[in-house]
Structure 1
Amino acid sequence: MTTPAVTTPRIPEAVHRRRWAILGVLMLSLLIVVLDNSILNVAIKTISTPEPTGLGATQGDLEWAINSYTLVFAGLLFTAGLLGDRLGRKRMLLVGLAVFGIGSALAAESGSPVQLILFRAVMGLGAAFVMPATLAVLMNVFERDEQPKAIGIWAGGVGLAIAIGPITGGVLLDHFWWGSVFLVNVPIVIVAIGLMIWLVPESRDPKPGRIDLVGVALSVVGLVLLVYGIIKGGQLADFTDPAALATIVAGIAVLVGFVLYEKRSDHPSIDISYFKNRVFSAAISSLALVFFALMGVTFFAVFYTQSVRGYSPLQTGLLMLPLAAAQLIFAPRARLVVDRFGVRAVCSGGLLLLAAMLAAFTILEADTPIWILEVMFFLMGTGMAHIMTPASVVIMQALPREKAGSASALSNTFRQVGGALGIAVLGSVLSAAYRSGVEDKLTLLPADVRHTAGESIEATLGVAAKLGPRGEPLVTAAHDSFLHAMHVTALCGAGVALIGVVVVALFLPGRTPQEPQVRPKDADPVGAGH
């Protein structure tokens, strides 16, 4: 075993002694950031219900309520990490948690969908400072030989949050109003800030990178325009509408400008040269596609279980447990399967299984035995676990070790962007297909409520409820139209997953290329030392 050429500075004994307690505080901070999105998943149906129960949010409003958080989070992740390196990671963690807590309190008291979208963006701003700082502090307080174990526990916190989020949201919605899913963050933030001030040491990068404000602005503006155009097309049930199409084209143009600017910048947010590595590009694309499917499926599955099947938010949260359970079971063991069959086979198999389960949504009807959905969720989680773990390892190994921080931030960014596009694209397909299916059934309604009633299944059911017995045919039409729209949307998702299979099969390695990297005599000693 070679000795690293550069010795790591010794960690102060007092910090070293409390390192596991520090890890607990970091996980608590991470927990609320991840928990918030998974809690919101079971609340979107309630929020779409007309006042006073909900906010009467349209499907487009709901997509923006989720995506305003995700886009701000993804767009500022690199900048927040650099600010932490420059100004102090503990300081940025405290600022991020405070902003997240304030945004949560404001979101809980939102009086309209627009306010909810705005305050969710504030929460995303706070989360962007929390996520990179937790990992940076972890790397600072653990010795090199304990870092893999600590990172494994840190990553397990993400899986735990995904698992308990829907159930927590369901319990809150069964006993309190919809805003409780945001207000629950506030006491956790207060506890986390107190523990962090007490336990966590300050740290900085002695040579922090420069902040790329132009790149950040271009990436956020481009993504917002693209997502806005996609959601607008879904609301209008016409993606060729001039307003929707012009916005989509403008978004793509700004993102192309972002790529060109980053290639020429001497301090880019994203080093575009990384993507010349086909293995890196294929692995990061597969991660984005997994989150595209996960967020898109969760979005329409909640309406299926609650609006069509009549399950409560808590029951819906419990129904989603197999999805999280499969990931918790198989993600830590995926490396064993990779060792036997290779990265390409395992990731291709995971994406194929995911595509098959998405296509299986076409068999779901209003009276399908619910255990079939449970099996589908479990198999989806199994497929995802066998993509995310190997792909994450490949991403980290495809670049030099000194680029590990950038690789981690990039994979986080692509996950978030993949999820945002999944909600925007699949949500818009669902919206467009639903409106097309239910439109001819709305002709009996007054002209001024017809457009609103066709926005989503909840909007239609809300109008039907006001009509009393005369609204029964409208309820049947809403259920039938939603099921058809869900089937169309699921097939679109399956098609995207199959594209992922082709990319992975062409570009990912058959075996993890770890052994050849450490054999050469002239290998970098820092890279060789494990």
Structure 2
Amino acid sequence: MDTTPNPARWWALAALVMSTLAVGLDATVLSVALPTLATDLHASTSQLQWFVDSYNLVLAAVLLPVGLLGDRFGHKRFLLGALVLFGVASALCAYSGSAEVLITGRVLLALGAAALMTLPAAILPRLFGEAERSRALTAWMTAMFASFPLGPIVGGLLLDHFWWGSVFLINVPVVVVAVTAVASLVPESRSPQPVRLDVGGLTLFAGALLALTFGLIEGGERGWSDGVVLAALVGFPLLLAGFALRQRVQLRRLVAGQSPLIDLSIFRLPGFAWGTALGVISTFAMFGMLFATPQYFQNVLGHDALGTGVRLLPMIGGLLVGGRLGRTLAERFGAKIVAAKGFSLMAVAMVIAATTDLDDGYGLAATWLAVFGLGLGFGLPTAMDAALGGIPKDRSGLGSGLLMSLRNVGGAIGVAVLGAVLNAGYRGAVDGDLARLGLDGPARAAVQDGPATGLAVARATGSPELVDAVRSAFVHGSDAMYLVCAAVALLGAVIAVALLPARTTTPEATPAETESAHDVVPA
């Protein structure tokens, strides 16, 4: 292996960071454009939901095979194709004339975004040695997570000055620059092992993810006793068990040109297994926090989308500081200590957030957001580095795809579970006030649906008491949700202390690759 550093590696990193930033912005910038889309495209409520869900579901389903396909066809080649697809899909979304076309564009965006989220994690370990790898991964992941709260800021600015399509069109110049840089600066790499996509395994895996996501989201809407919801939740473990069984069978029948979608033995590597678990936990807590906090800023403190995005910046500041300090501390004290400190800080931040009262201003939120970002900067890059550093280089695409897929599932579950806690707390608190105020019929149902519709009813009826009731109920529900986030973050701290290796070294081969010959059955 050539150990000479690529002199253009930092420019290549900049190109990967730019493309990742575009993907992250696209994930959140749409939220501020939904009211405009409802008017301009005559979109129904269900179509607005599909604008968001079509992207998330496709992304979760294809993250894993994208890593495997990158291993097969070449990480650089596949990344260039994904960039082109992402640019074309962005233009299609920008000039959509109907809701159906926009949904199609969002599906294509997710296909390209999956590769842009996964393949850099496979390319960076090849560009950077062990001494620089953590720094490069921190820069890449900082761009990814900084883009989430920056999305509403960028979207608000664009919608104030241009038409709604501009929130998608901004991706096109980024793609042009990234394609040029990747084509000229990034070396090609692929797995020397011949691989073939396991379509049956992919179907079972995607079906399991879809069943779990659908069941959790629709359970909060339709009720947990709904037949379709129950079928999805029952189907999830069955599909997952079928998938695991298929992977074990495929591994026992491994031949040249064929491989399982997931080499389950990769989870025997403690760095990968527990680094991935911590990545899932951090994403669970982060996405749940980002689901509730913008609503608090808008529905309780009364800020618009642009003001909300600006007020999330303390988290970005904490993330930047934590990422930089965490890398230095991990080199000195080891990943175990730094990750544990990071998750502990996240738990402390969520406990502080859970003390929020209706009369509290932005100062309290800014404080715990900064602490949360600091903990996230300590914990997440360290966990990711432990996971990616714990797998062989020739399986980096598969490992990074699995890591990103599981983290995406963690985020989806976080929004579903923590959103359910928030809604249960909100509805339980607001019901008593509705009975006291004598509000019945459709107006009562609208208030119970959520704080946004509740405030609309309160303003329409001219009831300041109802305004206070809705805001107070939302704070009550979000406080309960933040406590659950704190418990999850504390679990991460325990896992880091007890199970994460202090330092991770890259193995030469996965356990599957070192099995004896009698375990491999010819075709």
Instruction: Output the TM-score relative to the length of structure 1.
Output: 0.80
- Aligned equivalents of 1:117, 1:454: Cα separation in 2: 29
Residue of structure 2 in register with 1:259 after alignment:
244
Instruction: Tell me, yes or no, if structure 1 residue 462 matches structure 2 residue 452.
Output: no
Residue of structure 2 in register with 1:291 after alignment:
283
Instruction: Tell me, yes or no, if structure 1 residue 490 matches structure 2 residue 490.
Output: no
- Aligned equivalents of 1:194, 1:220: Cα separation in 2: 33
Contact persistence 1:63–1:424 (CA under 8 A): no
* Equivalences, count: 499
- Aligned pairs for 1:180-329 (under 5 A) are 180-193=166-179, 207-236=193-222, 238-266=223-251, 267-329=259-321
- Aligned equivalents of 2:100, 2:165: Cα separation in 1: 15
Residue of structure 2 in register with 1:167 after alignment:
153
Contact persistence 2:125–2:393 (CA under 8 A): no
Match of 1:125, SS state, is: helix
- The alpha-carbon distance between structure 1 residues 429 and 343, as it changes in their structure 2 partners (threshold 3 A), is same
Contact persistence 2:21–2:144 (CA under 8 A): yes
Match of 2:354, SS state, is: helix
1:82-106 Cα distance to aligned partner (Å, 9 max, x none): 3344445455334323433344345
- Aligned equivalents of 1:240, 1:17: Cα separation in 2: 59
AA aligned opposite 2:348: A
Contact persistence 1:29–1:189 (CA under 8 A): yes
CA RMSD of aligned residues (A): 3.9
What percent identity do the matched residue pairs reach?
35
- Aligned equivalents of 2:344, 2:42: Cα separation in 1: 38
Contact persistence 2:446–2:457 (CA under 8 A): no
- Aligned pairs for 1:104-115 (under 5 A) are 104-107=90-93
Contact persistence 1:48–1:55 (CA under 8 A): no
- Aligned equivalents of 1:502, 1:388: Cα separation in 2: 15
Alpha-carbon distance, 1:278 to partner: 4.4
Alpha-carbon distance, 1:207 to partner: 4.4
- The alpha-carbon distance between structure 1 residues 259 and 112, as it changes in their structure 2 partners (threshold 3 A), is farther
- The alpha-carbon distance between structure 1 residues 94 and 490, as it changes in their structure 2 partners (threshold 3 A), is same
- Aligned equivalents of 1:392, 1:400: Cα separation in 2: 15
After alignment, is 406-415 or 303-312 more displaced?
406-415
1:69-91 Cα distance to aligned partner (Å, 9 max, x none): 34422321232233344445455
Contact persistence 2:191–2:395 (CA under 8 A): no
- Aligned equivalents of 1:90, 1:339: Cα separation in 2: 30
- Aligned equivalents of 1:66, 1:116: Cα separation in 2: 11
- Aligned equivalents of 1:404, 1:130: Cα separation in 2: 15
Instruction: Tell me, yes or no, if structure 1 residue 363 matches structure 2 residue 355.
Output: yes
1:25-44 Cα distance to aligned partner (Å, 9 max, x none): 3333222112222434xx35
Contact persistence 1:95–1:129 (CA under 8 A): no
- Aligned equivalents of 2:335, 2:480: Cα separation in 1: 31
Contact persistence 1:234–1:432 (CA under 8 A): no
Residue of structure 1 in register with 2:511 after alignment:
none
Instruction: Output the TM-score relative to the length of structure 2.
Output: 0.81
- The alpha-carbon distance between structure 1 residues 88 and 250, as it changes in their structure 2 partners (threshold 3 A), is same
- Aligned equivalents of 1:139, 1:507: Cα separation in 2: 24
1:165-223 Cα distance to aligned partner (Å, 9 max, x none): 44323323444565543343244334544666677676665644211212222122211
- The alpha-carbon distance between structure 1 residues 248 and 107, as it changes in their structure 2 partners (threshold 3 A), is farther
Residue of structure 2 in register with 1:527 after alignment:
none
- The alpha-carbon distance between structure 1 residues 67 and 365, as it changes in their structure 2 partners (threshold 3 A), is farther
Alpha-carbon distance, 1:297 to partner: 0.5
- The alpha-carbon distance between structure 1 residues 418 and 117, as it changes in their structure 2 partners (threshold 3 A), is farther
Unaligned runs of 5+ in 2: 252-258, 509-513, 515-523
- The alpha-carbon distance between structure 1 residues 117 and 378, as it changes in their structure 2 partners (threshold 3 A), is farther
Alpha-carbon distance, 1:291 to partner: 0.7
Residue of structure 1 in register with 2:255 after alignment:
none
Match of 1:420 among 412, 415, 420: 412
- Aligned pairs for 1:47-86 (under 5 A) are 47=34, 52=39, 66=52, 68-86=54-72
- Aligned equivalents of 2:499, 2:181: Cα separation in 1: 45
- Aligned equivalents of 2:448, 2:101: Cα separation in 1: 23
- Aligned equivalents of 1:382, 1:346: Cα separation in 2: 11
Residue of structure 2 in register with 1:512 after alignment:
503
Instruction: Tell me, yes or no, if structure 1 residue 39 matches structure 2 residue 29.
Output: yes
AA aligned opposite 2:405: T
1:392-436 Cα distance to aligned partner (Å, 9 max, x none): 232234344544443333322222221111112112322333334
Contact persistence 2:119–2:401 (CA under 8 A): no
Instruction: Tell me, yes or no, if structure 1 residue 406 matches structure 2 residue 398.
Output: yes
1:417-468 Cα distance to aligned partner (Å, 9 max, x none): 2111111211232233333443566686674565455322122233444x35
Unaligned runs of 5+ in 1: 1-6, 519-523, 525-530
Match of 2:359, SS state, is: coil
AA aligned opposite 1:239: W
Match of 2:336 among 331, 344, 363: 344
- Aligned equivalents of 1:31, 1:284: Cα separation in 2: 22
After alignment, is 321-330 or 402-411 more displaced?
402-411
Residue of structure 1 in register with 2:254 after alignment:
none
Contact persistence 2:65–2:401 (CA under 8 A): no
- The alpha-carbon distance between structure 1 residues 464 and 56, as it changes in their structure 2 partners (threshold 3 A), is farther
AA aligned opposite 2:448: G
Alpha-carbon distance, 1:230 to partner: 1.1
Alpha-carbon distance, 1:144 to partner: 5.9
- The alpha-carbon distance between structure 1 residues 139 and 54, as it changes in their structure 2 partners (threshold 3 A), is same
Match of 1:269, SS state, is: coil
After alignment, is 497-506 or 368-377 more displaced?
497-506
Contact persistence 1:282–1:503 (CA under 8 A): yes
